[in-house]
Amino acid sequence: MDRLAYVIHEHAARQHHYDLRLEHDGVLLSWAVPKGPSLDPADKRLAMRVDDHPLEHAGFEGVIPEGEYGAGTVMVWDRGAWQPAGDVAEMLAAGRLEFRLLGAKLAGAWALVRMRPRPGERGESWLLIKHRDEEVRPRSEYDVLAEDRSAATGRTMAEIASEGAAGNA
């Protein structure tokens, strides 16, 4: 089975968010998660489906200049591989994507579940949910977002903002 890329970018754009990206069919399926992921199954995190990104973007870490789309600092917050639990196209169409993550910070079983569209809604609203397994951590005990260094370079957002792209990113 091919190894499919998984990455979460922390993105200090106009509104700070995390971008979950999953390789599929030569692109990165992408969701913007305003509050970021949680290892607590009780946290159902809003995840707005956004445009697919090119595969090459998976390793990007640096600063997107003012005036460009997504201007702001971008960190490779987590990376690794993902394993869909079935046919990706069918799960997307059904509005329920089940998968495993094999990252440095996130692992175990997860789901993206599409919410019922609302009148006048722009874009697709999904929920990012941690399934119950050995990777669960109650957020009252541990918030994975406290892990605030790059999985690629070990840098903080402030260090990336001042240094820009790293040679080994």
* Site residues, Mn ion (CB under 5 A): 11, 19
Inter-CA distances, 119 with 25, 46, 122, 153, Å: 31, 18, 9, 43
Q: How far is the CB of 142 from Mn ion (least distance, A)?
A: 25
Tokens of 48: 């707005």
Q: How far is the CB of 50 from Mn ion (least distance, A)?
A: 7
Of residues 19 and 23, the one with the C-beta less far from Mn ion: 19
Q: How far is the CB of 72 from Mn ion (least distance, A)?
A: 8
Three-class secondary structure of residue 15 per DSSP = coil
23 contacts 101 by C-beta, under 8 angstroms? no
Of residues 8 and 106, the one with the C-beta less far from Mn ion: 8
Q: How far is the CB of 21 from Mn ion (least distance, A)?
A: 10
Of residues 11 and 45, the one with the C-beta less far from Mn ion: 11
Of residues 9 and 130, the one with the C-beta less far from Mn ion: 9
> Cα Rg for the chain, rounded, in angstroms?
15
Closest chain position to Mn ion (CB): 11
CB atoms inside a 10 Å sphere around CB 12 = 18
Of residues 13 and 136, the one with the C-beta less far from Mn ion: 13
150 contacts 168 by C-beta, under 8 angstroms? no
Q: Maximum distance among all alpha carbons in the chain?
A: 46
Q: How far is the CB of 76 from Mn ion (least distance, A)?
A: 13
